[in-house]
Amino acid sequence: KHLSKRFTLQAGLFSKNAPSVKAVDDVSFHIMQGETLSLVGESGCGKSTTGRLIARLLEPSAGSLHFEGADISAVAGNDLRRLRRDVQMVFQDPYSSLNPRQTVGAILEAPFEIQGVEPPGGKRKAVLDLMERVGLKPEHVSRFPREFSGGQRQRIGIARALALRPKLIICDEPVSALDVSVQAQIVNLLQDLQRDFGLSYLFIAHDLSVVRHISHRVAVMYLGRIVEIGSAATVYARPAHPYTAALLSSVPIPDPDRRSSGTRTVLKGEIPSPINPPTGCHFHTRCPRAQDRCRSEAPALHKQGENHQVACHFPLGAN
């Protein structure tokens, strides 16, 4: 609720006015049990920072976090360790997140050791069960991360996240570094695991096409703010924010629903620096619908329809 994260930049070491970046700016959302909420936007929009705040790998500058009704914003020590069983993370680059000097067996035993959990049947059996669950072979247990392909390494990362039977997994671009042919396999695996274990996902991606088949709801971020959030069916078929429409225009998949809306926006230019974001609506420097009001007044999220909110003064499809 109302999460913000400000980073102070190094350049200000000897000056009173260290420049800072508001990486996450008053972001609120919820995720239901068994649900996938996708968080989408270009790099630098604050989506990974949001994920790390929720995983309690970073401290928020403002706002609060709640899990199953409990305020987890300030949990520490044993309570934080306990929370790590319920909330896990899968990272973009499975190679740098896996210790190259550990075998798969050791990597997958670590969560049990860190948490002091002895699984029924012992750790070795639990590890082999996990490996089978993510599509690895028993003989892989004594191999090292470098002996695997990118897709297999991500399976190891997923198995590690799954070890303690978490309830929420934050997937930070888990397929962005993989070949397109492998991406679908990993997304399918995550979907199977969600169905079997009732998992909730926060699925972070820079591309709406990747999350199309896994999302129940979608939130689009731009320069630290959520600009649109709603059910996947609605956001894909009737995007209301010009930025979402632009992201969808660059998706190379024919979509009869979208064609019928008659909207096509081409996104120009680079995302502006978050150190000095544009006034008013942050998107006005790239928005084909921008008017004077957009430069002075930041639009708040407001209801656009059932289960659909948009932060835009002149949303699409609202005549």
Residue from the set 284, 304, 308, 309 that interacts with ligand SF4 by CB under 6 A: 284
- Read off the tokens for 70: 């409990």
Cβ partners under 8 Å of residue 119, min gap 6 = 112, 125, 126
Q: How far is the CB of 128 from Mg ion (least distance, A)?
A: 32
- Considering the rule CB under 6 A, would residue 177 count as an interface residue with ligand SF4? no
Q: How far is the CB of 198 from Mg ion (least distance, A)?
A: 27
- Which one, 259 or 295, has the nearer CB to ligand SF4? 295
Residue from the set 55, 126, 294, 309 that interacts with ligand SF4 by CB under 6 A: 294
- Which one, 36 or 244, has the nearer CB to ligand SF4? 244
H or E element, residue 7: strand 3-8
Q: How far is the CB of 61 from ligand SF4 (least distance, A)?
A: 25
User: Using the 8-state DSSP alphabet, how is residue 252 labeled?
Assistant: -
User: Using the 8-state DSSP alphabet, how is residue 198 labeled?
Assistant: T
The site partner of 48 among ligand SF4, Mg ion, none (C-beta below 5 to 8 Å per kind) is Mg ion
* Total residue length of the chain: 319
Binding letters toward ligand SF4, positions 264-283, x by CB under 6 A: -----------------x-x
- Considering the rule CB under 6 A, would residue 299 count as an interface residue with ligand SF4? yes
Tell me the C-alpha distance between 225 and 20, whole Å: 16
CA-closest candidate to residue 171, choices 136, 129, 206: 206
Which residues make beta-bridge pairs with 222?
Answer: 225
- Considering the rule CB under 6 A, would residue 144 count as an interface residue with ligand SF4? no
What region, left, alpha or beta, does residue 310 occupy, with left being phi > 0 and alpha being psi -120 to 50 degrees? Answer: beta
Binding letters toward Mg ion, positions 42-81, x by CB under 5 A: ------x---------------------------------
- Which one, 47 or 216, has the nearer CB to Mg ion? 47
Tell me the C-alpha distance between 218 and 252, whole Å: 19
Q: How far is the CB of 313 from ligand SF4 (least distance, A)?
A: 4
Looking at residue 283, its amino acid is F
- Which one, 52 or 313, has the nearer CB to ligand SF4? 313
Cβ partners under 8 Å of residue 260, min gap 6 = none
CA-closest candidate to residue 136, choices 105, 92, 176, 98: 105
What region, left, alpha or beta, does residue 29 occupy, with left being phi > 0 and alpha being psi -120 to 50 degrees? Answer: beta
The site partner of 294 among Mg ion, ligand SF4, none (C-beta below 5 to 8 Å per kind) is ligand SF4
Q: How far is the CB of 243 from ligand SF4 (least distance, A)?
A: 6
- Considering the rule CB under 6 A, would residue 133 count as an interface residue with ligand SF4? no
User: Using the 8-state DSSP alphabet, how is residue 284 labeled?
Assistant: G
* HEC per residue, 80-109: HHHHHHHEEEECCCCCCCCCCCCCHHHHHH
Binding letters toward ligand SF4, positions 210-249, x by CB under 6 A: -------------------------------xx-------
**Binding positions for Mg ion, rule: CB under 5 A:** 48
Contact residues for ligand SF4, defined by CB under 6 A: 241-242, 281, 283-284, 287, 289-290, 294, 299, 312-314
